[in-house]
Amino acid sequence: MCGIFACHRHPDVQKFKPTALRLAKTIRHRGPDWSGSVISNNTILCHERLCIVGVESGAQPLTNADESIVLAVNGEIYNHRLIRKSLKTPYHFKTTSDCEVIIPLYLEYGLDAPNHLDGMFSFVLYDKNEDRIVAARDPIGITTFYQGWSSKEPGTVYFASELKALYPVCDKIEAFPPGHVYDSKSDQRTRYFQPSWWDGTKTPEKPLDLKLLRETLEKSVRKRLMAEVPYGVLLSGGLDSSLVASIAQRETLRLKKLAQDAIDNGELKPEDLDRGEGLVGIDDENKLSTMTFLPQLNSFSIGLPGSPDNVAALEVAKFLGTKHHVMTFTIEDGLNALSDVIYHLETYDVTTIRASTPMYLLSRKIKAMGIKMVLSGEGSDEIFGGYLYFHNAPDKKAFHEECVRRVKNLHLADCLRANKSTSAWGLEARVPFLDKEFLEVAMNIDPQEKMITPERIEKYILRKAFDTSDDPSAEPYLPDSILWRQKEQFSDGVGYGWIDALKDHAERHVTDEMMKNPKPEWGDDIPDTKEAYWYRLMFDEHFPPYCASTVMRWTPKWSKQTDPSGRAIAVHKAKYQDA
């Protein structure tokens, strides 16, 4: 991930520059590798860079030949090579950065440029000739992005990757909606991402194609291995991360064979393979392309000692042959990190904080090992109705509507968690399940196929797509014990004692009297548990009250439970005793 900060139509941008640089510095954790800024007319764009692709030449903000276009981007564009080849008008590229293609796309397609991108991104583009700002966010909101305004400068508009870069100068902030593009000429945001499933009003009827489902996910993982730096996979031992790890390992082994072939043909030297460097990636025409290659795929898991996830992750790693790193943390470690976690997450949602804390701790360890990018399994539960409360869905129409609602809100929940927990330490998380092409396939399947029944465990069709038991000659993707493992929410899987400890500590910090007298500035957004109250107090220590409008609290549907944990659902094997 990178960090961006931008301001357009400021009354005195030169005087504002030191403040802008200071605000950009508050998100330098997202991009510790380089800082850049450009002032043009009354506009300033600042960029904090994490180098993943185009490492030597991709410093930002980027500009075109005559510097009439200035661009700051946070994200990765997976189809950048194809875009370079398909441009109608020849364009002189200054860098090898995947993000630079946004400039010629804007010159050819204007506001429709984001529609041509396949990736995760937030960007701010300034057109000097038109004194125009264009800003956009990826279709699902994998990258975090905010827009702000100040009552002191009514005509000025601000953008940033995180709240902390905006609230010192803005008194109104909104989460920039995913799949939208903003144009300063009209001062409007419009939705450019309009897939067939988005409205959720029409129940899909497409028959299930397991082969298509499997191959589309495999393709999604492959394209996300685009990198020039060491990478790994987050492996909780659950279905989703295990499938991503399995596909990534298969691709790693395939690349290793291609690299060996390249050595045999004289295209590579043996020492290049030993170092994990050189001409061993695959481009869009299945030809070798520059990419860092790890001789052995690294996988990472975290949990309390003896946690369900660490046990399962180790089983998967042994099966796949990855170089696995198990991290254990103590409850004290987690509690000590809570305030910092909330500062980086910029939320007080209970589920997000519970799950983000171990992810935050793990990310620090991963970055210390020199890894800069990881694959992660977010999005699958929303797409396939994998949360245990989906057992209670009354019919397929309601099931599908809830899936659509969950996918639409990912930018306020799991995408926010994955993005900010990792970028707190300059680590980038990529999420293959939220690939545009994969979503189009998975979200248009007849939801009757996704329904949970006594014969069909949650995410049955995803499991079945990677079940090779009917083909004795096929290499299994995962052990059956993992392929058919019950859904375990990450905050539960790291160890059941984690949530229990959070509840116990909340009891000590929040009294019954405090629960009866919430802060007046909270309005109608009143915490309903002591744990939620405790997190809101910590949030208020870092952020002013108006930042709360960007927060969504995660709640399960079709359930009377007050605790969002999967373990509070009656069908969970290790459910709470009072569930």
CATH H superfamily, domain 210-568: HUPs (3.40.50.620)
- Alpha carbons 255 and 258: distance in angstroms, whole number: 5
What is the C-alpha separation between 272 and 265, in angstroms, rounded?
Answer: 14
Greater confidence, 51 or 449?
A: 449
DSSP bridge partners of 157: 8
- CA 412, CA 416: separation in Å to the nearest integer? 6
Architecture of domain 3-191: 4-Layer Sandwich (3.60)
567: pLDDT strictly greater than 80: no
- φ, ψ at 354 (rounded to 5°): -55, -45
Is the Cα torsion angle 281, 283, 285, 288 positive or negative in sign? negative
The CB density around residue 365, as the number of other CB atoms within 10 Å, is 16
- The pTM score is 0.93
Catalytic residue check, 7 = no
Question: What confidence tens digit (pLDDT) does each residue in 290-348 have?
Answer: 455 566 799 999 999 988 889 999 999 999 999 999 999 999 999 999 999 999 999 99
Q: Which residues contact 475 (CB under 8 A, 6 or more apart)?
A: 468
Q: What is the pLDDT of residues 130-152, one digit of tens each?
A: 999 999 999 999 999 999 999 99
Residue 1's pLDDT is 74
Q: Quick one: average pLDDT of 111-128? A: 98
At residue 266, the pLDDT reads: 82
The tokens for 183 are: 């144009």
Torsion sign over Cα 441, 444, 448, 450: positive
> pLDDT-based confidence at 278, cuts 50/70/90?
very low
Confidence of residue 59 (pLDDT cuts 50, 70, 90): confident
Q: Token digits for 106? A: 């804007």
Paired tokens of 227: 């990198």
Residue predicted with more confidence, 484 or 58: 484
The reply to whether 3-191 and 210-568 are identical in fold is no
Distance CA 28, CA 35 (A): 8
Least confident of 104-118, 218-232, 336-350, 535-549: 218-232
Query: What pLDDT was estimated at residue 267?
Result: 78
Confidence of residue 572 (pLDDT cuts 50, 70, 90): low
Q: Mention every residue, 6+ apart, whose C-beta is less than 8 A from residue 311.
A: 237
CA angle 286, 289, 292 (to 5 degrees): 125
Distance CA(250)–CA(156), nearest Å, equals 50
Beta strand pairing call for 298-303 and 231-234 = parallel
Residue 279 pLDDT: 40
Q: Is the pLDDT of residue 576 over 90?
A: no
What's residue 560's pLDDT? 76
pLDDT at position 227 is 83
Mean pLDDT across 241-264: 89
- Residue 275, pLDDT score: 52
* Contact call for residues 469 and 415 (beta carbons, < 8 A): no
What is the rounded (10 degree) CA torsion for 251, 255, 257, 262?
160
Report the pLDDT value the prediction gives residue 281, as an integer from 0 to 100. 47
**pLDDT in the model for residue 577:** 47
Q: What percent of the chain has pLDDT over 70?
A: 91
With residue 71 as reference, give the H or E element that holds it.
Answer: strand 69-77
Across the chain, mean pLDDT equals: 91
- Highest averaged pLDDT of the listed ranges 187-196, 284-293, 483-492: 187-196
Strands (E), 161-222: 172-175, 180-183, 188-191
**Burial class of residue 318 in the structure, from the number of CB atoms within 10 Å of its CB (0-12 exposed, 13-18 middle, 19+ buried):** exposed
Q: Are 84 and 94 in contact (CB under 8 A)?
A: no
CB 7 within 8 A of CB 44: yes
Short-list 55, 48, 33, 32, CA closest to 291: 55
Catalytic, out of 2, 7, 51, 547: 2
The percentage of residues in the chain with a pLDDT greater than 90, rounded to a whole number, is 80
Which ranges of 87-201 would DSSP assign to H, the alpha helix? 102-109
Mean pLDDT confidence for 2-23: 97
**pLDDT score, position 56:** 74
d(CA 436, CA 193): 10
The type of residue at 117 is L
425-481 residue pLDDT tens? 999 999 999 999 999 999 999 999 999 999 999 999 999 999 999 999 999 999 999
Model confidence pLDDT, tens digit, residues 541-564: 999 999 999 999 888 888 876 676
Domain residue extents for the chain: 3-191, 210-568
Q: Tell me what pLDDT residue 579 has.
A: 36
Q: What are phi and psi for residue 36, nearest 5 degrees?
A: -150, 155
Split at pLDDT 50, 70, 90, the class of 286 is very low
Tell me 162's DSSP state.
S
Checking if the pLDDT of 84 tops 90, the result is: yes
The phi-psi region of residue 328 (left if phi > 0; otherwise alpha if psi is between -120 and 50; otherwise beta) is beta
DSSP string, 402-451: HHHHHHHTGGGTHHHHHHHHHHTTT-EEE-GGG-HHHHHHHTTB-GGGT-
